[in-house]
């Protein structure tokens, strides 16, 4: 049984293609067959958290009590997302996107657990919000905006670098488009 040069090249090509298509499996049991699947998994979790923030804001406009009641649920959901993302392996040795996402999502969990809780507590006072209470809300919101801009930029840069490294084309997130249109 002799192998021809063509057969050897063919077998070598199959082995090389299989090596390029290595899947990555996380502690959470999820298999990521491509860098885009890895990226999309993270971004889908970010989208879920952002939808919770938007829902909280919409509810807070008309019913502070209900909005306040949503905070524990959203804190728990953010914690679950953080644990899911922490369970992801580095993608072919690169953990920068995963780590930036964990930092960003930890910030959102803190918002639900602390910042938004405090803002809603002050607003629960109703029409009796003092000047001090109003100033506190403004300070909290300004702080949120500053911190969020830094973390969003780090996550965006990590995602862009990940896309460049693995030759992915980035596409606009529909939820981000919606947020930009609202602002």
Q: What pTM, to 2 d.p., does this model score?
A: 0.80
> pLDDT tens digits, residue range 85-119?
999 999 999 999 999 999 999 999 999 999 999 99
The predicted model gives 34-59 an average pLDDT of: 95
Q: Is the pLDDT of residue 30 over 50?
A: yes
| Residue 21 DSSP one-character state | T
Q: Is the pLDDT of residue 31 over 80?
A: yes
Give the integer Cα–Cα distance in Å for 133 and 128: 9
Share of the chain above pLDDT 70, in %: 78
How many structural domains does the chain have? 1
Spatial contact of 162 and 91, defined as CB atoms under 8 Å apart: yes
Q: What is the pLDDT of residue 93?
A: 92
Question: What's the domain range around 130?
Answer: 5-182
Spatial contact of 85 and 46, defined as CB atoms under 8 Å apart: no
Q: Is the pLDDT of residue 147 over 90?
A: yes
Beta pairing partners, 14: none
Give the integer Cα–Cα distance in Å for 115 and 113: 7
Spatial contact of 48 and 173, defined as CB atoms under 8 Å apart: no
């Amino acid at each position: 049984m002799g192998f021809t040069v063509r057969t050897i090249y063919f077998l070598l090509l199959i082995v090389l293609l299989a090596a390029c298509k290595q899947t990555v499996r996380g502690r959470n049991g999820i298999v990521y067959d491509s860098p885009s699947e890895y990226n999309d998994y993270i971004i889908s979790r970010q989208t879920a958290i952002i939808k919770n923030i938007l829902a909280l804001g919409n509810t807070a406009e008309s019913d502070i009590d209900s909005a306040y009641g949503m905070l524990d649920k959203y804190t728990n959901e953010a914690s679950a997302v953080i644990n899911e993302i922490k369970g992801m392996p580095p993608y072919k040795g690169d953990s920068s996107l995963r780590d930036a996402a964990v930092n960003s999502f930890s910030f959102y969990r803190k918002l639900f657990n602390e910042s938004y809780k405090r803002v809603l507590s002050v607003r629960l006072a109703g029409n009796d919000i003092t000047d001090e209470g109003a100033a506190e809300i403004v300070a909290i919101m300004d702080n949120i905006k500053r911190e969020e801009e830094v973390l969003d930029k780090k996550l965006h840069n990590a995602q862009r670098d990940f896309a460049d490294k693995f030759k992915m084309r980035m596409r606009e997130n529909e939820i981000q488009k919606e947020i930009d249109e609202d602002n």
